[in-house]
Amino acid sequence: MSDDLADYLDSIDAHLVGYLDEDRNISVGAVRHVQCYVVVLLQGLLVPEHVHEDWPDFFPLVTAFVLAYGSPRLGHLARRAAIFEGDGDEPLTDYDRVFLARLLAELQGLLSRRER
């Protein structure tokens, strides 16, 4: 999967490959950074528009994570979430919140597996 992930990120924007580690997996630092933004979104401290302004790579990395590491349930929730649509200043929908909560759990699961 790591080569597919690298190819996917490179096809979006070559600089996104910089978020991969030496094994061509998403780096622990990138996962933690995504986690922080997911938490502030869930807490309502930022709206998606502000996340995009602050860190434009967030949404492409979340999409890449869902495709490369996400469970089928996370993929289903991502397709139903409105967070990837619109201009980003709308409040989060219930699907957005469920998606972000599941994403947070799966990000933590990946970190736990890597720390073993």
- Per-residue model confidence as pLDDT tens digits over 21-63: 998 889 999 999 999 999 999 999 999 999 999 999 999 999 9
DSSP state of 88: S
The sign of the CA dihedral 5, 58, 101, 80 is negative
**Ramachandran region, residue 99 (left: φ > 0; alpha: ψ -120 to 50; beta: rest):** alpha
pLDDT (0 to 100) of residue 75: 94
Q: Enter the pTM of the model.
A: 0.89
pLDDT in tens, 61-84: 999 999 999 999 999 999 999 998
Q: Which pLDDT score, from 0 to 100, does residue 2 have? A: 60
Domain range for 92: 2-114
Number of domains into which the chain is organized: 1
